[in-house]
A and B are shown apart, each in its own frame.
Chain A
C-alpha cells in the first residue's frame, strides 16, 4: 500500500508540472522527427563539374543520377573552392583528372565510386588521377565533423552552466539582494558576460587545443581564428542560457530546455549532411547560432580559410550575442523596474 501511495504521489506531482509532461511527450517526438528528416533523405547525388570529358563518360555519370555541370577551365576552380560542387573532372590526354572538394569524406567516397564506375565502362584500362582541394584521401569522418563538435560542446556546456548559475542567483535570493543596491540592470548582465567570458576563454582554448593536438583533428587554418569563433560561441551560449533560465524555476527545468534549444542546433549545424533535405527545411539552420560557428570553424580548420571568409559568421554571432544581452537586461525588469 505504501508503494501505491508513493506511486500516486509521483503521478500527482507530475500532474502539477504540466511542462514536464509536455516535455516528456513532445521532446522525443521532436527529436525523432528531426532524425527522420536527416536519415530518411534520399541517396546523395554528387554534383560534379566537367571541363572536358568524353560524351559517353558524361552520359554514364548522368545515368547514375550525378548532377553534371559544364564549366570552362577559368571559372571551374572558383566554383570548386566555394564548395558549390563536390568534384571537378577534366580529361587531359585521355587520363581523367578528378579534383575533389574533399571536406566531407562521405561525399568524396560517393564521387570516387561513381566516377570509377563510369570510367571502367568507357575506358577500362585508364586509372584516374585523383587530387584533393581540401582534406586528403584517408581523411576520417571525425576530421569533417570535429570542428562542429568543438563548437557544439562549448555551446552546450556554457549554456547549461550559465543557465544554472543565473537560476541559482534567482532562487537563492541573491539576485533580489543585489538589485536592492544601486546596481544597474545592465551592470548585472555585463558582469556575468565578462565573468564567464574570462572563464570561457580558458575553456575554449583548452578544448580547441585538445582537439587539434591530442585528438589530431584536421587543422590547416589559424588557431587564433578558431579561438575567436569558440569564444564568440561561448558568449552566445552564455547570453541565451541566462535568458532561458528566466523561464525555468529549478535546475531540472533548465535541463528540459536542452532538447528544445540545443538538440535541433546539433542536427542543423552540419554534423549531418542536410543537402538531401527539402530546401525549406535546410534553411532552418540559418536561424541557429551553432550553424554559424560550425560554418566558420569548418572553413578555418578544414579549408584553411582566413578572416574574409568567416567575417559574415562572426558578424552574425556578435549580433545574436548583442540581441540576447539586451533581452537579458530587459528580462531583469521583472525584478526591478529601473
Chain B
C-alpha cells in the first residue's frame, strides 16, 4: 500500500495562531514563540517507526502540527493512533525517528509539564474519591494549594462533576470517569492537550459541551490532539490525520480531505484512502 497521498501545506495555521494569541498565556509559551522561526511547528514528528518485538505498528510517520489547532487522528482501533500520541506525550519512544514538542526532543520532563494527557483507559484510582484523584495529579504538577483549589473548581465545573467531588471513583459511571480524566488532563492549564478517545461513553449533550470547551481552549491558543474512531467528531477538527495499519494515509482539513477524495462525508473519504489496503 502506498498511502502518502496528500501531505498538505499547513503554514497558514501558524499565522492563525498569532492572531488569536491571548495575553494571559504563560511565559513559557511566549518564550517558545520567540524561538519560532516562521512555519516552526508546535509538534514535529520525523520519520517515526515503532515496533513491539517483531510487530511494527507505525511506519515512517512524519507530521508537523502547528500551534493552536485541533488535530484529529482518525483511524480504526489498532491502527496505531494511541501509540503515536503516547510518543508525543513522552511515555513511549519511537524505535527510530524523532518527536519534537515545543522544539524539545521528547521525552523531556520540562516539556511534559506543558502537556495534558488523557489516556484511552481511565487511569484513575478507583478506591479514592474524585477530589483525592484530582488533588493527587495537581500535586504531581506542583500546583500551589490555592491554585489547586481554584483549578479543581474550574475544571470540575467544566466537566459537570462539581456535585460528585466527594464520591469514590468506583461509584462513577463510565461517562463520569471519562469526564474526570479530562478534568485531570486540564488541571495544570497545559499548552498542549492530548486526548485519546475522549468522548467514548459520553452522551451527545455532554459531548457537545466538551467540544465547545475544546474550541474555547483552542481559541486561547491550546494545541489539541484528539484521537477518535467516531467519524462525526472528525468534522469538528481543524485538521485531520487519517491513520490506517500504522501509516498516515492522508492529512488536511476535513473539507480538503473530502474534496481530494471526491467524497461527501469523512467516512467515505476514509474508505477511499484506506480501501486499497485490504
* A contact set with B: CB distance below 8 Å: 172-174, 176-184, 335-338
**Interface segment, one of B60-68, B121-129, B145-153:** B121-129
Instruction: Name B141's closest neighbour in chain A (CB-CB).
Output: A181
Supposing A177-B119, A336-B90, A336-B91 touch, asked if A182 and B140 sit within 8 A by C-beta, the answer is yes
**Chain B interface helix/strand/loop/mixed:** loop
Q: Which of B202-256 contact A (CB under 8 A)?
A: none
Interface residue B107 (Cβ < 8 Å from any Cβ of A): yes
User: 8 A-B contacts, Cβ less than 8 Å apart?
Assistant: A176-B86, A177-B123, A180-B90, A180-B115, A180-B119, A182-B112, A182-B140, A337-B93
Contact (Cβ within 8 A) A335 B112: no
> Considering only CB atoms and an 8 Å cut-off, how many residues of chain B contact the other chain?
23
Chain B residues with CB under 8 Å of A335's CB are 91
Cβ of A40 to closest chain B Cβ, rounded Å: 45
* B contact set with A: CB distance below 8 Å: 86, 89-91, 93, 107-110, 112-113, 115, 117, 119, 121-126, 137, 140-141
What CA separation (Å) do A131 and B183 show in the bound complex? 73
Not counting A172-B123, A174-B124, A177-B117, a sample of 5 additional A-B residue pairs whose C-beta atoms are within 8 angstroms of each other reads A173-B121, A178-B137, A180-B91, A180-B112, A182-B141
Contact (Cβ within 8 A) A181 B112: yes
What CA separation (Å) do A173 and B110 show in the bound complex? 22
Contact (Cβ within 8 A) A174 B125: yes
Instruction: Name B136's closest neighbour in chain A (CB-CB).
Output: A178
Instruction: Name A181's closest neighbour in chain B (CB-CB).
Output: B140
Chain B residues with CB under 8 Å of A182's CB are 109-110, 112-113, 140-141
Contact (Cβ within 8 A) A176 B123: yes
| Residue of A173, A180, A184, A337 with most partner-chain B CB within 10 A | A180
What CA separation (Å) do A338 and B93 show in the bound complex? 10
Contact (Cβ within 8 A) A338 B109: yes
**Chain A interface helix/strand/loop/mixed:** loop
Chain B residues with CB under 8 Å of A184's CB are 109
What CA separation (Å) do A174 and B177 show in the bound complex? 13
In-complex Cβ contact of B137 among A181, A336, A338 (8 A): A181
Chain A residues with CB under 8 Å of B90's CB are 180, 336, 338
Chain B residues with CB under 8 Å of A183's CB are 140
| Residue of B89, B93, B109, B123 with most partner-chain A CB within 10 A | B123
Chain A residues with CB under 8 Å of B115's CB are 180
Chain A residues with CB under 8 Å of B86's CB are 176
Contact (Cβ within 8 A) A176 B91: yes
What CA separation (Å) do A213 and B117 show in the bound complex? 52
Chain A residues with CB under 8 Å of B89's CB are 180
Contact (Cβ within 8 A) A338 B108: yes
What CA separation (Å) do A173 and B123 show in the bound complex? 5
What CA separation (Å) do A337 and B140 show in the bound complex? 18
Cβ of B189 to closest chain A Cβ, rounded Å: 14
Contact (Cβ within 8 A) B107 A336: yes
Supposing A178-B140, A181-B140, A181-B141 touch, asked if A337 and B124 sit within 8 A by C-beta, the answer is no
What CA separation (Å) do A338 and B106 show in the bound complex? 10
Instruction: Name B181's closest neighbour in chain A (CB-CB).
Output: A177
Chain A residues with CB under 8 Å of B119's CB are 173, 176-177, 180
